[in-house]
Structure 1
Amino acid sequence: MIRRWIADLLLGMRLALGGGGARTALVRLALTATGVGLGVVVLLTATSVPHLIGARDDRAGGRVPDFAAAAPGVDPVYALARVDEYRGRGLGGYLVQPTGPHPPAAPGVDRLPGPGEAVLSPALADLLRSPEGELLRPRFPQRVVGTIGDAGLTGPHELFFYVGSATVAQLPDAAPVSRFGAETHRRALSSLELLLVVVGATTCLVPVFVFVVTSTRLAAAARDRRLASLRLIGADRGQVRRIAAGEALLGSFGGLLAGLALFQLVRALVPRITVTAFRGGLFGADVVPDWRLGVPALLVLPVLACAAAVFALRTVVIEPLGVVRRGTRIRRRLWWRLLPVAAGWALLFTGTDDAESPGVIAGIVLILTAVPLLLPWVVERVAGLLRGGSPAWLLAVRRLQLDSATAARLVSGVAVVLAGSIALQGVYSRTESDRPAPQEVKVLASFHATSYAEGEAFAAAFRALPGRRDAPLRTRGLIENAAGERASITVGTCAELRARAGLAECRDGDVYATGAVGYLPAAGDHVWFSAAGPRAVPQWTVPAVHRLPGARDETAALLVTPAALATASGVGLTVDADVPTADADLVERVRNTVGWNGTVYSLGTGSDGTYALITRALSVGSVLVLLFVAGSLLVAAWEQLRERRRSLAALMAGGVGRGVLARSLVWQLAIPVAVAVAVAVPAGLALDWLVLTLVVHRPMVVDAPAIAVLTATAIAAVLIVTALTLPALWRTASLENLREE
């Protein structure tokens, strides 16, 4: 029995390769392989996402300093993280100060730089050498002594650095490090973010399966004639089905090989992606499918292709003397097509309060899967109601009435993408409405000075920038005594303190207390600067403090004149400045002035990197899937024209003009598309309402303009495909196709 089955399958493969004319067989095989191959690429790419994210996180965690670890024989380095940006691109790294000849090893770096040296990522080095990096070069005056390897980067386009400095130990928050590679804690996805991933992945994958099923039914008429010939020489019905499965199996195997080759091409092209939300790009080596997901995904496509090919024979009676398609059309039944909808609805109810529940994920998948199941029934009913009209309209309607399933399959991918995109847009809108209202955008610069003179030098350089001559600056700091009590200080000249605090009398060298200061040091107290904690030798001995009467400002601090810090050592002060946001070049010059001894950051412009990555990835994926659906629609439409070449040629010979045939072709796609939109929009809105109301308990937000844009995009894609099929229509309708092959 097994040997007979194998022989039938092998015969089907041979017929698929050479039956019905070599050219026709190869075209049919190529179409099936294309559908399966594209499905393989999408599935392998989707199953690579967990490894891709995990590898990025592992490399990012591998370069994080482990401040708690101590390694014998290793000279610790003082390390301080710096996060910056350049013209909207993220820029980050570490300032390091070695304490000996045996510093710890950082991933991707041969050796950590010493003072006056720098090790840069390849992308950062290239940017500094390019004209675009002109305003960035002043931030890296150090001598570049090496580049960071892939092991120390999250992506090939990441702007990352290690800069050596002799003053890192004096900066706030700097600490000695003996090992790189601290354990990182990944932030779990929120309910809405997880829903974005589930809906987006389902939207991308369902059209792939739809096209795999459709591709196995291409050139069905030629296949049925071949099978009838086999019946004539003695094959039974079971053998016919196994031979049909063998034909689909060969196309599936070809698609697997083509898909694996295309997947390698995808891996080669992935490093070229420069989308900002991907935060440094992606390494092709990270795109590795999880075999636990990839192997079943690869196996399901040939099985699905074979099952679709055999299932397509249910309405065909293949006898030795010919092929008879059942003349009495059996009206499609609705009840079993509603089962996925009902099951999905029930599963969403079971997953209340838990977006990670398997029931929620299965419910979303079932509801989106129901769209291509419902579409043939709806198209059949609508086509049966259409009457009258122009010759082009009559030709199109009659064709739909005879074979509405083919038209429904052609546009079902569009319907799934549209429904999923509408549901995604609803979750987008809900997520955005839940985010805090944006604050007024404000750029702040903070410079960390180790002496008052250094702070004054920064102030002079800052005021030398265009338009910053009279910019207000504030010099502040934090002191701490041996008991851990802290007090904030504000440093300024008597003129500045009079303007700020309204001092009636002021002498350089005095310290004043204004407001309700939590810790009020007494004359002679030994204190330390910053929040680094007490060290061996106090950094400042506080002079006499003059209490100002009548002030009750809870946010006030000690007011310190410059001469009062004359005896201080290792002063830690911060100079704050406001920066206008209108001039982007001015902001970059401010960053250069601050250098790595400070930070320049924005208020009111922050965004969640994880959310940005998810939304951008899904947006890119939706566009790619829409292009995939449009391509599959084009391929299927071309094949339909090829199968109908004799009937179209007969119409031309009977006097039907090319314009009538062209308009008929437009109507044949336009009517199913209109039905698909009518099904997809309510389905997408219903899915959006279900997941938001039942799972995350948020009210639904309908973005009507976005839905209109999505609908118009889907319709435009179909119209473009129709226009591209017109040249094939002219060739197909040639009178030469009336000849028997």
Structure 2
Amino acid sequence: MSLRQWSRDLGMGFRFAFTGGRESWGRVLLTAVGVGLGVALLLLTTAIPNALQVRSDREYARADSTYSGQAIPPRADNTLLVADVDTEFRGQGVRGRQLEPEGSKAPLPPGVGKFPAPGEMVVSPALQELLNSQDGKLLRERLPYRVTGTIGETGLIGSAELAFYAGGDGLGPKVNGSAVTRIDTFQPRKAPSERMDPVLLLLVLVVFVVLLMPVGVFIAAAVRFGGERRDRRLAALRLVGSDSRMTRRIAAGEALAGALLGLIFGIGFFLIGRQIAGSIELFDVSVFPSYLNPTPTLALLVAIAVPAAAVGVTLLALRGVVIEPLGVVRTARPARRRLWWRLLLPLGGLALLYPMIGQGRTNGDFNQFMVVGGVILLLVGITALLPWIVEAVVGRLGSGGVAWQLAVRRLQLSSGTAARMVNGIAVAVAGAIALQMVFSGVSNDYTEDTGQDVSRAQMTVRLPSKVPLAEADRQLKQTKGVRHTLALSDGAVADRRKEPVNAANLTVGDCAALRQVAKLPSCRDGDVFTVQNAEYDTATPKLGKPGRKLYIDPSYSTSRGKEVVWTMPQGIKQAAQGKDPTGWAREGILATPGALPAKAAPAISGGVYVGLDESVPDAREYVRNTAARLDPLADSTAMAATSEARRFESIRTGLFVGAACVLLLIGASLLVSQLEQLRERKRLLSALVAFGTRRRTLSLSVLWQTAIPITLGLVLASAVGLTLGAVLLRMASTPVRVDWSSVLAMTGIGAGVVLVVTLFSLPPLLRLMRPEGLRTE
């Protein structure tokens, strides 16, 4: 067969799609909408890597921290003082900086046109919207600055980011390289790439495959919308002389027309979705529309693959359909589906994954091609096995009520159509179960115990040295939602003023506070204690001697201290080591305020551990507001018993965002497919109603037609998902554990999507069940 003949037949089918009347147009539009939804999600997915890279580059470009070992530049005409005044509001991070230029050439942060003056600030659009709303009342109290402008897109990592730059004053004496630092430039470079943990790389690969497979399955199903009516129309072509092969190529041309129109729709949907993405935030992740630019190579691959898949799927679907001049032979009993080749797909997937079992994170990266190929074959195996299972099961279903019999007979006649409807949801559920198993299995490797005792305190407030600790403790005690506080100051003592040989930790607090972090024999104001036999502490026994001259806050080559002289008093007592609420085992020297010289106050920094009344709404926000009133540089932090690796958390967040989009697509695809099936059976439904069948019976039959295949699909998806999850866990050298609650949750979500779609399809079903539907022209 020549290429010219192929192109001529495809072109004829293309023309028939647009010139075949209202019915042809309806089918093309239905296919185009379905394909367009899939293409839009594919384009959004191909844009995710670029969006993440842009977010990372923007974050790096505005970096203003002085890292350990990095010298702080001296004051000059091109230097800028930067104070970190980050905060948090109702679980959302708020990035804040105070800026004080030291010369006319001081560098401006990205997205800022000019420096705000003291008492002024420029804010992100999202923060301005929050401050102007009723919900932002508590946050406005914490940020007592006048808004004079907004931060541009180049200075933000996302459209929903909360950020501000405020004018600073008198920051010079507070420079310490951490909370307050001096810089002479921002970082106008791309973020450096880092090698990813092999297990995390495995998770990324599986996440992308699991999210994209349901989209591909849906597109393959979308190009077959309206297939039965199309095949009946093609019978007319046989009357005018076309052979069966030519007829199939013409049908492929019709599918190609829907796919190409779907590409156009998909681009439109993508552009709409990209604009919508700029105004929403999912799982604390937001982007600007300009971030979502698909990789050109991947976009070209989508543009080629979708039309090619439309032609291939159509030719494959018509191989079992006999189109004769007088009709389509579809209703005769078809040949039984063969099982052996369907089993080869999942077995081939397991064969690709098996060599990497036990590799873990210590034997190099996983072979990306084998991982992707193995997961794809396992998930594609669902789409191959499900039609066979549905046919085998419905062929053995017995008698029942009228609704049951109508549903079972319809499934027996077109089990393949029923399987196609649920293929996408089955693939998505299988992938979700596998990923949930892997995330649950490896989460302990990326979650560590912080050692913090959240039963003793739920927040810490670190204060600059100039803030009197007693006054801060008093105000925090009086703050709404606070049950109790524990105030302690920290510092260091050494044997020399500069570059000391021996140094030890110094903890200052009243007797009640010190008893919370150590076991004291007796205590009154003016007492000093030494913690003996603390692990790794060899300096305290040398320093903690009566009459010994020590220096509080000594100077080092990398930092400047206050170097306050302190002579150790007589009657030093010994204390047993204990832990503060953060889990820090206190060591060194413990002192009550009366034992220190008056000049020591600026040389030590205070902190207050705060216990909250969790029944008070916004208790944490009241504490943060009090801390901000004490000093804008006060650092208020919520305590947590565990912390999670940032990359692991980011991958899981990406999965949740992608899964939400895929579920929306699957729901839309099922609804479109359901409506298409109802439209195909319009006359049949009208005839049944005309003969006296109750609408309730027909509605139940439609429900059974959906429930039976989806139940079989979810059972198969659970089996494949558990198998894939177990293999992936063995690849990561992690014990196989099944979280049955998660498995049930995933299958329940899949069933819930189908139930919602079925309910949405009931109104059009009732409209179709009218005797007027028998009228024809």
**Structure 2 length-normalised TM:** 0.84
Q: What is the CA–CA distance in structure 2 between the aligned matches of 1:735 and 1:144, rounded to whole Å?
A: 66
Q: Would the alpha carbon gap of residues 295 and 565 (structure 1) be closer, same or farther in structure 2, given more than 3 Å must change?
A: farther
Structure 1: gaps (5+ residues) = none
SS in 1 for 2:463: strand
Q: What is the CA–CA distance in structure 1 between the aligned matches of 2:115 and 2:633, rounded to whole Å?
A: 19
1:290-369 maps to which residues of 2 (within 5 A)? 290-325=295-330, 327=332, 329-352=334-357, 353=359, 356-358=366-368, 359-369=370-380
SS in 2 for 1:338: helix
Matched-pair contact (CA < 8 Å) for 2:461–2:634? yes
Q: What is the CA–CA distance in structure 2 between the aligned matches of 1:739 and 1:466, rounded to whole Å?
A: 73
Matched-pair contact (CA < 8 Å) for 2:484–2:612? no
Out of 707, 727, 735, the position equivalent to 2:743 is 707
Q: What is the CA–CA distance in structure 2 between the aligned matches of 1:448 and 1:545, rounded to whole Å?
A: 26
Out of 639, 649, 665, the position equivalent to 2:702 is 665
Q: Would the alpha carbon gap of residues 136 and 716 (structure 1) be closer, same or farther in structure 2, given more than 3 Å must change?
A: closer
Aligned residue number for residue 251 of structure 1: 258
Out of 587, 591, 599, the position equivalent to 2:624 is 591
Q: Would the alpha carbon gap of residues 587 and 177 (structure 1) be closer, same or farther in structure 2, given more than 3 Å must change?
A: same
Aligned residue number for residue 246 of structure 2: 239
More displaced 10-residue stretch of structure 1: 142-151 or 100-109: 142-151
SS in 2 for 1:630: helix
SS in 2 for 1:100: coil
1:49-64 maps to which residues of 2 (within 5 A)? 49-64=48-63
Aligned residue number for residue 185 of structure 2: 179
Q: What is the CA–CA distance in structure 2 between the aligned matches of 1:564 and 1:722, rounded to whole Å?
A: 75
Alpha-carbon shift at residue 268 of structure 1 (Å): 0.9
- 1:150 maps onto 2:157 in alignment: no
Alpha-carbon shift at residue 321 of structure 1 (Å): 4.4
Matched-pair contact (CA < 8 Å) for 1:277–1:609? no
Matched-pair contact (CA < 8 Å) for 2:511–2:523? no
Out of 109, 113, 132, the position equivalent to 1:110 is 113
Amino acid across the alignment from 1:28 = R
Amino acid across the alignment from 1:483 = E
Q: What is the CA–CA distance in structure 1 between the aligned matches of 2:461 and 2:96, rounded to whole Å?
A: 18
Amino acid across the alignment from 2:475 = A
Out of 480, 485, 491, the position equivalent to 1:477 is 491
Amino acid across the alignment from 1:232 = L
Q: Would the alpha carbon gap of residues 242 and 676 (structure 1) be closer, same or farther in structure 2, given more than 3 Å must change?
A: same
Alpha-carbon shift at residue 57 of structure 1 (Å): 0.6
- Kindly provide the CA deviation profile for residues 460-502 of structure 1, in whole angstroms up to 9, marking residues without a partner as x: 4334435879844212223564224433333467998899866
Alpha-carbon shift at residue 548 of structure 1 (Å): 4.4
Matched-pair contact (CA < 8 Å) for 1:513–1:546? no
Q: What is the CA–CA distance in structure 2 between the aligned matches of 1:214 and 1:495, rounded to whole Å?
A: 71
Q: What is the CA–CA distance in structure 2 between the aligned matches of 1:82 and 1:462, rounded to whole Å?
A: 19
More displaced 10-residue stretch of structure 1: 612-621 or 366-375: 612-621
Aligned residue number for residue 136 of structure 1: 139
1:428-507 maps to which residues of 2 (within 5 A)? 428-432=439-443, 435-436=447-448, 440-441=453-454, 442-451=457-466, 454-465=468-479, 471-479=485-493, 481-485=497-501, 486-491=503-508
More displaced 10-residue stretch of structure 1: 357-366 or 26-35: 357-366
Aligned residue number for residue 427 of structure 1: 438
Matched-pair contact (CA < 8 Å) for 1:579–1:587? no
Q: Would the alpha carbon gap of residues 117 and 330 (structure 1) be closer, same or farther in structure 2, given more than 3 Å must change?
A: same
Q: What is the CA–CA distance in structure 2 between the aligned matches of 1:145 and 1:531, rounded to whole Å?
A: 41
SS in 2 for 1:272: coil
Matched-pair contact (CA < 8 Å) for 2:430–2:718? yes
Q: Would the alpha carbon gap of residues 615 and 505 (structure 1) be closer, same or farther in structure 2, given more than 3 Å must change?
A: closer
- 1:167 maps onto 2:183 in alignment: no
Amino acid across the alignment from 2:7 = I
Alpha-carbon shift at residue 588 of structure 1 (Å): 2.4
Q: Would the alpha carbon gap of residues 276 and 618 (structure 1) be closer, same or farther in structure 2, given more than 3 Å must change?
A: closer
Q: What is the CA–CA distance in structure 1 between the aligned matches of 2:575 and 2:228, rounded to whole Å?
A: 92
More displaced 10-residue stretch of structure 1: 695-704 or 324-333: 324-333
Q: What is the CA–CA distance in structure 1 between the aligned matches of 2:88 and 2:524, rounded to whole Å?
A: 44
- Kindly provide the CA deviation profile for residues 679-718 of structure 1, in whole angstroms up to 9, marking residues without a partner as x: 112111111111112x112223323233333333333433
Matched-pair contact (CA < 8 Å) for 2:199–2:732? yes
Alpha-carbon shift at residue 238 of structure 1 (Å): 3.8
SS in 2 for 1:277: coil
Q: What is the CA–CA distance in structure 1 between the aligned matches of 2:269 and 2:460, rounded to whole Å?
A: 48
Aligned residues with identical type, % of pairs: 36
Q: Would the alpha carbon gap of residues 251 and 493 (structure 1) be closer, same or farther in structure 2, given more than 3 Å must change?
A: closer
Aligned residue number for residue 416 of structure 2: 405
Q: What is the CA–CA distance in structure 2 between the aligned matches of 1:294 and 1:456, rounded to whole Å?
A: 62
Alpha-carbon shift at residue 383 of structure 1 (Å): 1.8
Q: What is the CA–CA distance in structure 1 between the aligned matches of 2:315 and 2:531, rounded to whole Å?
A: 88
Aligned residue number for residue 213 of structure 1: 220
More displaced 10-residue stretch of structure 1: 150-159 or 495-504: 495-504
Matched-pair contact (CA < 8 Å) for 1:51–1:289? yes
More displaced 10-residue stretch of structure 1: 119-128 or 400-409: 119-128
Alpha-carbon shift at residue 335 of structure 1 (Å): 1.6
Amino acid across the alignment from 1:62 = A
Q: What is the CA–CA distance in structure 2 between the aligned matches of 1:673 and 1:110, rounded to whole Å?
A: 57
Q: Would the alpha carbon gap of residues 219 and 447 (structure 1) be closer, same or farther in structure 2, given more than 3 Å must change?
A: closer
Matched-pair contact (CA < 8 Å) for 1:117–1:143? yes
- 1:229 maps onto 2:246 in alignment: no
Q: Would the alpha carbon gap of residues 587 and 715 (structure 1) be closer, same or farther in structure 2, given more than 3 Å must change?
A: closer
Amino acid across the alignment from 2:171 = T
- 1:262 maps onto 2:277 in alignment: no
- 1:639 maps onto 2:654 in alignment: no
Q: What is the CA–CA distance in structure 2 between the aligned matches of 1:291 and 1:389, rounded to whole Å?
A: 55
Q: What is the CA–CA distance in structure 2 between the aligned matches of 1:96 and 1:484, rounded to whole Å?
A: 34
Matched-pair contact (CA < 8 Å) for 2:207–2:655? yes
Q: What is the CA–CA distance in structure 2 between the aligned matches of 1:725 and 1:465, rounded to whole Å?
A: 55
Alpha-carbon shift at residue 64 of structure 1 (Å): 0.9
Amino acid across the alignment from 1:539 = K
Q: What is the CA–CA distance in structure 2 between the aligned matches of 1:725 and 1:470, rounded to whole Å?
A: 57
Aligned residue number for residue 122 of structure 1: 125
Alpha-carbon shift at residue 558 of structure 1 (Å): 6.0
Q: What is the CA–CA distance in structure 1 between the aligned matches of 2:515 and 2:652, rounded to whole Å?
A: 51
Q: Would the alpha carbon gap of residues 90 and 724 (structure 1) be closer, same or farther in structure 2, given more than 3 Å must change?
A: closer
Alpha-carbon shift at residue 170 of structure 1 (Å): 2.1
SS in 1 for 2:569: strand
Out of 663, 680, 686, the position equivalent to 2:717 is 680
Amino acid across the alignment from 1:357 = N
Aligned residues: 731
More displaced 10-residue stretch of structure 1: 649-658 or 679-688: 649-658
Matched-pair contact (CA < 8 Å) for 1:443–1:600? no
Q: What is the CA–CA distance in structure 2 between the aligned matches of 1:643 and 1:504, rounded to whole Å?
A: 88
Alpha-carbon shift at residue 96 of structure 1 (Å): 3.7
Alpha-carbon shift at residue 31 of structure 1 (Å): 1.0
- Kindly provide the CA deviation profile for residues 120-142 of structure 1, in whole angstroms up to 9, marking residues without a partner as x: 32322333333322222343224
Aligned residue number for residue 392 of structure 1: 403
Q: What is the CA–CA distance in structure 2 between the aligned matches of 1:318 and 1:141, rounded to whole Å?
A: 77
Q: What is the CA–CA distance in structure 2 between the aligned matches of 1:412 and 1:498, rounded to whole Å?
A: 64
- Kindly provide the CA deviation profile for residues 260-309 of structure 1, in whole angstroms up to 9, marking residues without a partner as x: 1111111111122233432xx22111111111222102321111111111
SS in 1 for 2:284: helix
- Computed over aligned residues only, the root mean square deviation of the Cα atoms, in angstroms, reads 3.5
Q: Would the alpha carbon gap of residues 479 and 637 (structure 1) be closer, same or farther in structure 2, given more than 3 Å must change?
A: same
